[in-house]
Amino acid sequence: MNSTVKSVEAHYTRQGLERIILTALNEAGIDFDRLKAEDLAPIDQFHIGGRKFTLEFARQLGLDETMHVLDVGSGLGGASRCLALEYGCQVTGLDLSEEYCRVASMLTQRLGLDSQVSFQHGNALDMPFADGTFDLLWTQHVAMNIADKTKFYSELWRVLKPGGKLAIYDVLAGEGGSVHFPVPWACEPDNSHLLSPQQLRNRLEEIGFEVLSWQDATAKGCAWFANMNAKINQKGLPRLGIHLLLGDEFRLMAQNQVRNLDEGRIALIETIMQRPS
């Protein structure tokens, strides 16, 4: 494992994460023996917009129970479980963080979804899957940490079946200047690698993907943050939330995230691509 990969994995590693989550669930008054997927939504959907944005995006994809989905950068497995529950599809999650995969598997087993959803520790630049394995690829807020975009998107192309779809919701470079750090995906610039929207589109089309849908989600993300901040200002941080994953720098990361969006330093794109048959 090279130093860059180690640095990215270390950024997302939180020692004792299982205990932290179980304690927070207990403090929030949630019975772990009667756990529902919705109970975990404040912490297991590690992207702007959370479960709401996941559901809105998924409705555009034509998912059903015959499909095998790969969730690239699956984190704690929130989106993987959400897609499986809503559409009955088989979902495999892949994540660079071994700890995230372990906790994701534990939570999935607790929800009784382990026959439908599984997780594998691995690198998105060298996926442990055969060519043309998946009907749909799903990735949210992942590519920001990946410098070799051509390798990444080529790997996505490789494991996707001809005719399959690629759903991307990602943070991209805006026109407003350099990003303010730290942010949730990186504490310093060395671990942050953002393309502009046009660069992303060009890169994907060069590999062979065809654009089915391209939506700027920046304004929607800003509105979500404004609503979240209003709730935090009124009630304080919830017992269960993304702050448990990010530790002591959460407030500064969140402030910078909002500032970067407001100043046009980052943009949000939702796109659905297809590998031609």
Cβ contacts of 226-235, under 8 Å, gap ≥ 24: 229/254, 229/258
**More confident call, 144 vs 34:** 144
Quick count: other Cβ atoms within 10 Å of Cβ 24?
18
Is residue 274 over pLDDT 90?
Answer: yes
With 0-12 / 13-18 / 19 or more C-beta atoms within 10 angstroms meaning exposed / middle / buried, residue 171 is: buried
The model's pLDDT over 60-83, given as tens digits with 9 standing for 90+, comes to 999 999 999 999 999 999 999 999
Q: Helix or strand or coil: residue 275?
A: coil
User: Quick one: how far is CA 123 from the chain centroid?
Assistant: 15
Nearest to 54 by CA among 35, 32, 34, 76: 76
Can you give the pTM of this predicted structure? 0.96
pLDDT of residue 265: 98
| Domains of the chain with CATH codes | 3-274 (3.40.50.150)
Question: How far is residue 261's CA from residue 49's CA, in Å, rounded to a whole number?
Answer: 13
Q: What percent of the chain has pLDDT over 90?
A: 85
The model's pLDDT over 122-151, given as tens digits with 9 standing for 90+, comes to 999 999 999 999 999 999 999 999 999 999
Question: How far is residue 124's CA from residue 96's CA, in Å, rounded to a whole number?
Answer: 8
- When pLDDT is cut at 50, 70 and 90, the band that residue 193 belongs to is very high
Mean pLDDT of the region 160-185: 97
Nearest to 266 by CA among 181, 148, 179: 179
The model's pLDDT over 11-24, given as tens digits with 9 standing for 90+, comes to 998 889 999 999 99
